[in-house]
Structure 1
Amino acid sequence: MQSSFYPTVEKNYGVPLDTRHGYTKVGISSQTAGTADVVGDWECFVAAIASTETRDMFFRDLAVWINETPTNRALTDLYDTMTGDYPGITFAARPVMGGAFALLLLDD
């Protein structure tokens, strides 16, 4: 059910946390993509337990955000999914983002 829902609310650079803002959280839980052993930040956790297509959507949106936005700081775990900008709070180079690269270590 969730794998069908998230693509319907996807914005330019990801899926918002909820309806209050267009912010999203990315982080350490991407280390569990393919398994659901560790709970961490929202977007990568959802990717870990979603269908392959939805998981790929979450990580594709993150890659698009990295490539297209003019943000000039290290990778953040909180940004606006419509504009790609920081939402007033600037989180940069936080350790939780290391998990976003864990998929590179997994065997298919």
Structure 2
Amino acid sequence: MARRVSDRSRSARARLVVSLALTVTALMFTVVLQLAGTDYTALALTCTGVGIFLSTWFLLDVCISWKDDLDRRRAAARRGPRPPSAPRPPAPRAPGAPRDAGDARYPTGRR
């Protein structure tokens, strides 16, 4: 049975996959530019470094959201099924407030 993943965790994982794909592409581009000996190697290396930083950031986001999902599932399992709710007691009446004439708990003396 598949476990339900929250939308936050799913979007964090998608960001990580896209970031990793772009970082690997930038790294390959950097290697090709280095082998060709062009002047754009520094720019490509900078883009690769930014991609590595963002991939690390998104990996942390995935780990944090996964931990939140795990904690939420454990809390729900500890709580167990909810018992049927009991009727709520009536709200306390403010001093000096009139009693509700239709309520059987407060007989008015009139019949």
TM-score normalised according to structure 1 size: 0.26
Task: Point out which structure has higher relative CO (alpha carbons under 8 A, 6+ apart).
Answer: 1
More strand by share: 1
When Rg is computed on C-alpha atoms for both structures, the one with the higher figure is: 2
TM-score (norm 2): 0.25
